[in-house]
Amino acid sequence: MKSSFEDEIRFYDPGENWSGVECSACGADAEEWWGEAMETASADGFKDLNTVAPCCGATVSLNDLRYIWPAAFGRFALEAHNPGIGDTTWE
């Protein structure tokens, strides 16, 4: 296991497991507009994650979008490598 603390908020993505993202308001595929919305939010240090979804016009948070494989914004991460192992409890 590995933990990390960041000074700034960052987006923790699933890397090679990226499988897409959907609008949290209407369920439409958000890939087409997600990248630009992320660039805009990143320029402000991810302080404001709200954006207007072009698919339905709803104001949505980038954090609340439906990431097909888990993803999130934060300053702390706890990573588990080799998740296929049986017991991950700490003693």
Convert the pLDDT of each residue in 2-23 to its tens digit.
888 989 999 999 889 999 999 9
Half-sphere exposure (Cβ direction) of 30: Cα atoms closer than 13 Å: 29
Q: Which residues pair with 4 in a beta bridge?
A: 77
How many Å apart are CA 13 and CA 79, to the nearest integer?
12
How many Å apart are CA 26 and CA 10, to the nearest integer?
25
Convert the pLDDT of each residue in 35-90 to its tens digit.
999 999 999 999 999 999 999 999 999 999 999 999 999 999 887 776 666 665 65
